Copies of this chain bind each other. A is one copy, B any other.
């Protein structure tokens, strides 16, 4: 390989691909970038073996004097950031790599490109087209609710994404809370896939609002989804899907007609919950307690060592019965931050029943939080 490319442009491509590289991998090659030069330009790949990100520099932005492949450690990105202007990257044997920039010369030991896991080969005909802004909006509303750290059931480390009935939908849960969001979109009936939430969080970071994204599923012989992918002009993201049945949450997200229903100012409520979260952040449960009456919602919480806090908010609307209920302040904060609009509606059907947190502007999104059992 022998190429000349702008150091900042290459650093951007590496930055995107690096999002798929896991810091913890025990296989050295998974801590590296694969850089390939051919007549189409430059492709940079990073992978943790489940998710893969390939980013592109087209041939008009790179001078390719000899095709080839090299594999360099993540440190290469840091080194590149210390350079400016054009850099020449050259390797005769694919292992020893010489990087030159003005008077600087760097020699790095590469790994064998043949050891780098090949990118998944996908059937790419089942996808929807969506703007980066819309796709990021959907991610923001749902993914956080997954069990990202994965201490429970493996399937819950993912978000269930479906492309059917003219919609894209996402749902995620860690069994104590649940989020679901949908958007009407031109789509075939492509089914659903459980995609690792951690990978989607990284994907969310590299998509920009202005991107046009093709988001789709690649199926195997038995018509099961094997990979999900997201493709823009700059990159392709692939994620192997999680195996197993995603729990059927259909019944859980049906917002009840009965019960207590209050409408409140989102920011006011969020600030109050954040105050309690801060005070009680050393507590395992970090509980916020709501006393809901027609005249006011009293919000309070305490830390064992630190003290207690409370605030009363006047509801904009109130219907139903007065009640007292407790929930995790972090879960409440996360749901409120994910919601669009200035007002939220909370629906309660009983002291030990699911709490629904809803946006007044977006009726396609539902957040559900399980209450804590408390003693009066």
Contacts and interface: CB of A to CB of B under 8 A. Distances in A.
A305 interface: yes
A308 B272 CA distance: 55
A107 B272 contact: no
Is the interface on chain A under 10, 10 to 19, 20 to 34, or 35 or more residues?
20 to 34
B310 A82 contact: no
A85 B129 CA distance: 46
Nearest to A73: B306
Given A108-B306, A307-B109, A279 B75 contact: yes
Contact of A275 (B82, B275, B311, B312): B82
A363 interface: no
Q: Chain B CB within 10 Å — which of A78, A82, A271 has the most?
A: A82
B306 A75 contact: yes
A100 to B, nearest CB: 10
Contact of A82 (B79, B82, B278): B278
Interface in A65-92: 73, 75, 78-79, 82-83
A305 B73 CA distance: 10
Nearest to A108: B307
Stoichiometry, copies per complex: 2
A15 interface: no
B78 A305 contact: no
A112 to B, nearest CB: 16
Given A103-B312, A311-B104, A79 B275 contact: yes
A109 B275 CA distance: 16
Q: Chain B CB within 10 Å — which of A75, A271, A307 has the most?
A: A307
Contacts of A255: none
Contacts of A311: 103-105
A87 to B, nearest CB: 12
Nearest to A310: B105
8 contacts: A73-B306, A79-B275, A79-B279, A104-B310, A104-B311, A105-B311, A106-B275, A107-B308
A106 B78 CA distance: 46
A104 B271 CA distance: 10
A313 interface: yes
A5 interface: no
Contact of A278 (B78, B105, B305, B306): B78
Interface in A95-137: 97, 103-109
A309 interface: yes
A274 interface: yes
Those 8 A-B pairs whose CB atoms lie nearest each other, nearest first = A108-B307, A106-B309, A104-B311, A82-B275, A103-B311, A107-B307, A107-B308, A103-B312
A82 B333 CA distance: 14
A260 B97 CA distance: 35
Contacts of A78: 278
Q: Chain B CB within 10 Å — which of A73, A79, A106 has the most?
A: A106
A279 B103 contact: no
Contacts of A105: 309-311
A108 B280 CA distance: 12
Interface in A268-312: 271-272, 274-275, 278-279, 305-312
Contacts of A82: 271, 274-275, 278
A125 to B, nearest CB: 43
Given A82-B271, A271-B82, A308 B106 contact: yes
